[in-house]
Every structure is written in structure tokens, then in C-alpha cells.
Structure 1
Amino acid sequence: MPKSPSGGIGDVPVAVYSCAAESDAVRDAERRARHCADARHWHVAGTWSDDDPCVPLYARPAWAAVTSALSSGLVRGIVVAGISHLAEDAGQFAALGVLIRDRGGFLTEATSPPVRQTPGQHERRHILLEASSGWWLWGDLVPGAAS
């Protein structure tokens, strides 16, 4: 049984892991993973990164350090910005998550970054929500609406 569910909230120490060839990509991945951990009130006990995604996961030095921290109890979970930092597809990521859960930890992926808002987007969403609820801001423009 995992020490903390992957969607749980609480003061849980976690590791942030990333693997990318470019340092900008590593920084962005770390920022996204930290944001995910902060939103759940998880304590980031450390960040680890490897710089060669072509190296198999079991041969990456930073990944070995993360699993060591998990085994020693220093961290209880692992947060990554995206599955591509650990696996080639969602199936491999899920299998790795099961393996980590069987060892008492958890693995979670940070959500995608928020979509950039455009000017006026809030107002357009407000109008759409009102229209979908049956109340229309411009009732006099709707054909057949009572005057």
C-alpha cells in the first residue's frame, strides 16, 4: 500500500526528477513538477536530473539516486513533469508506477502547463456560461425572445 496516494494532499516529502538534453527543458520540467508538488502541499526534498534521455532508465545516475532516496525513506513519492522523462509511453509509465507503489511509494506526473489566456477570454467564457445556462445577456437579439 502506498504511503500517500498520488492524488493526496499533505506534508509528504517527494523527489522531483527530470531527464532532458537541454538545460532549459530541465528547468521547465523542474518548475512544473514543483508547482504540482506545491499545489498538493508536498515537501520537495530534492531534485534530480539526468541529461541523456537515450540512456536506459536503470543506467541513469540521478534516477538511481531517486530510487535510493525512496528506498531509504528520504522521500515517499516521485514527481515528474511528464511521462517522457521516464518512459516511452503511458503503458511503461503506468508499469513503473505500479513497481514504485509495490515498494511503498508513489509516482505522479505534473499536469500540463496552463493554457495562455488571451485578452477578453474571461468575458467570452462568462458569456458562453450564461448562454449555456439558459440566460442570455442579449435577450433582445435572440429571434423570438419576449420583448
Structure 2
Amino acid sequence: MPQTPSDGFGRVPVAVYSCTAETAVARDAERRARHYADTRHWHVAGVWSDNDPSVALDARPGWSAITGALSSGLIRGIVVGGASHIAADAARFASLSVLIRNRGGFLAEATAGSSRRTAGQHERRRMLFEASSGWLPWGCLVPRGTSS
């Protein structure tokens, strides 16, 4: 069972994991996973990686270290830079997530925030914020003295 401070406060300890043969890809995955954890105020307790994705997940030394840390309560969750680092498809990733949840932890995939944004989203949010504050930069939208 994961260890938590007695006062109920504190940052959630997580592990960052990646598995790829390319060093640059591993660094990028670690950077994304760390950023994902930081934005949620999780404490990155350790970073593990393996360099041979062809090896079965349970036979990878880095993954074995992470599951050991999860079982001993040193970490409460696992953050991966992408689902492909631990699973071949979404169904396997989901079943692995359920397995980890049954052990008292959680699994999270660090997704890139920019992939969810649509063109013009920032501008629309800015305009909504300005409109809600009472400042209308576009002037009067309906000419005075006309009715619709």
C-alpha cells in the first residue's frame, strides 16, 4: 500500500518511465512526463528507462524496478511519455492501467497539450476573457438605432 504523510498533505510520488532504443526519444519522453507530473504537483521520485522495446515488459529491468517501488509504497503512480513505451495498443495500455490500479497505484500517459488545441483557440479564449471583464475591443457590434 502506498505511503502517505500522516497529515494528508504532500506531493504524490510518481516514477517516470520510458523504453526506446533512441536516446533523443527517451529524453523527450522523460521531459514530457516530468512536465505532466509537475503540472499536477506530483513529485518525481525517480526516472527509469529501458533501451530495448522488443523485450517483454515484465522482463525489462527498469520496469521491474518501478513495479518494485510501487509494491513497496515508494511511489503511487507511473507516468510514461507515451503509451507506446509500455504497450503495443490502447487496449493493452488500458488493461495494464487496471492491473496497476488493482495494486493501489495509477498509470498516466503524458500527452502533449498542443495536440488538443484547435486553430484560433487561444484567440477565442482571450476574447471571452476580455468580454467577461467588460472590455470590448471590437467596439459596438450592432449599430445604434437599429433593431434586429
Specify the TM-score bucket, using the shorter chain as the normaliser: 0.7 to 0.9
- Percent same amino acid at aligned positions? 64
Distance 1:54 1:121, change over 3 A: same
- The answer to whether the aligner puts 1:58 opposite 2:58 as a matched pair is yes
- The answer to whether the aligner puts 1:103 opposite 2:128 as a matched pair is no
**Structure 2 counterpart of 1:103, which letter?**
R
Q: Give the structure 1 partner of residue 34 of structure 2.
A: 34
Q: Give the structure 1 partner of residue 138 of structure 2.
A: 137
Q: Give the structure 2 partner of residue 12 of structure 1.
A: 12
- Contact 2:2/2:72 (<8 A) preserved: no
Distance 1:24 1:96, change over 3 A: same
Following TM superposition, where does structure 1 have runs of at least 4 consecutive aligned residues deviating by more than 6 angstroms? 1-4
Task: Measure, in 2, the Cα distance between the counterparts of 1:123 and 1:103.
Answer: 44
Distance 1:76 1:122, change over 3 A: closer
Task: Measure, in 1, the Cα distance between the counterparts of 2:15 and 2:123.
Answer: 39
Task: Measure, in 2, the Cα distance between the counterparts of 1:84 and 1:60.
Answer: 15
Report the CA distance between 1:137 and its aligned residue. Answer: 3.2
Task: Measure, in 1, the Cα distance between the counterparts of 2:123 and 2:40.
Answer: 30
Report the CA distance between 1:114 and its aligned residue. Answer: 2.6
Distance 1:122 1:52, change over 3 A: same
Q: Give the structure 2 partner of residue 7 of structure 1.
A: none
Question: Tell me, what secondary structure is at the counterpart of 1:114?
Answer: helix
Q: Give the structure 1 partner of residue 133 of structure 2.
A: none
Task: Measure, in 1, the Cα distance between the counterparts of 2:138 and 2:111.
Answer: 34
What residue ranges of structure 1 are gaps of 5+ in the alignment?
A: 5-9
Report the CA distance between 1:82 and its aligned residue. Answer: 1.0
- Give aligned pairs, total: 132
Task: Measure, in 1, the Cα distance between the counterparts of 2:84 and 2:122.
Answer: 32
Question: Tell me, what secondary structure is at the counterpart of 1:54?
Answer: coil
**Structure 1 counterpart of 2:88, which letter?**
E
